């Protein structure tokens, strides 16, 4: 096992140790019980660590999206409580994990007071600890072009951390837990960031005017590409790239 893959024991570190390590300090539950957009912005530059028998992987978060409750048409909670989204209604500071299109998993952190059903989707980041293990997990799941691509996108991030539906509801506020999120250390400056519409969200929830709730670190190479929601072609309209019809005579 290489130096980058050594299993550490952060549960034995003091708060000062964690802050000096550059990984930040675990955020208390009350830190998550705030407006979901405020939590989303403050998660930029924070780290998430997963621990398993295989070892530890830590990702520095570079891109997130905020989702509200029943007043957000882009949210899973828009139509109320379902078996799938129960964790969104749980206490803040817990994971909400779902499977997208039956293909891959997405990690969210519950925010706002209990029952508000708000959460922050972790879209991308940089692997800063356990790169060897993260790379092995990604290779087992598909192709890895380079380190920049390791956790670039929500599915890749979940694979790097080794998290799936079994992690749904996990508490991320405990320093010695299986998954822990550490906010930036006290006194650290807010990193430069930008915001815009959420990726792949259709309708009003994808509006840049009303829901510019995607946030990312300015200039960070691990931020994923923006893609609007898919819109099927209108019946009778030519497919993209098709030649224009000849004019009638």
* For range 210-214, the mean pLDDT: 95
- pLDDT tier for residue 235 given thresholds of 50, 70 and 90: low
Note the pLDDT tens digit of each residue in 157-208.
999 999 999 999 999 999 999 999 999 877 788 899 999 999 999 899 999 9
Q: At residue 46, what are phi and psi to the nearest 5 degrees?
A: -75, 170
Tell the burial category of 238 from Cβ atoms under 10 Å away from its Cβ (0-12, 13-18, 19+).
exposed
Q: Does domain 3-190 have CATH number 3.10.300.10?
A: yes
Contact 162, 137 (CB under 8 A): yes
DSSP letter string, 78-128: TT---TTTGGGGS-SSBEEEEEETTTEEEEEEEESSTTS-EEEEEEEEEEE
- pLDDT tier for residue 114 given thresholds of 50, 70 and 90: very high
pTM: 0.83
């Amino acid at each position: 096992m290489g130096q980058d893959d050594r299993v550490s024991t952060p549960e034995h570190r003091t708060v000062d140790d964690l802050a000096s390590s550059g990984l930040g300090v675990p955020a208390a539950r009350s830190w998550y019980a705030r407006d979901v957009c405020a939590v989303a912005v403050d998660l930029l530059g924070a780290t998430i660590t997963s621990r398993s028998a295989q070892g530890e992987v830590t990702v520095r978060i570079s891109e997130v999206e905020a989702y509200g409750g029943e007043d957000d048409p882009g949210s899973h909670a828009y139509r109320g409580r379902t078996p799938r989204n129960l964790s969104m209604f749980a206490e803040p500071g817990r994971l909400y994990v779902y499977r997208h299109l039956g293909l891959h998993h997405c990690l969210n952190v519950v925010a706002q007071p209990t029952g508000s059903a708000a959460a922050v989707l972790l879209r991308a980041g940089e692997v800063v600890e356990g790169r060897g293990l993260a790379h092995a997990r990604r290779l087992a799941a598909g192709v890895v072009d380079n380190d920049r691509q390791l956790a670039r996108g929500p599915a890749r991030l979940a694979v790097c951390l080794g998290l799936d539906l079994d992690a749904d509801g996990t508490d991320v506020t405990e320093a010695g837990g299986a998954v822990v999120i550490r906010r930036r250390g006290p006194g650290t400056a807010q990193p430069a960031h930008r915001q815009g519409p959420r990726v792949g969200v259709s309708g009003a929830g994808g509006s840049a005017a009303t829901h510019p709730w995607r946030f990312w670190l300015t200039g960070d190479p691990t931020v994923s590409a923006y893609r609007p929601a898919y819109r099927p072609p209108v019946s009778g309209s030519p497919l993209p790239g098709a030649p224009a019809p000849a004019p009638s005579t």
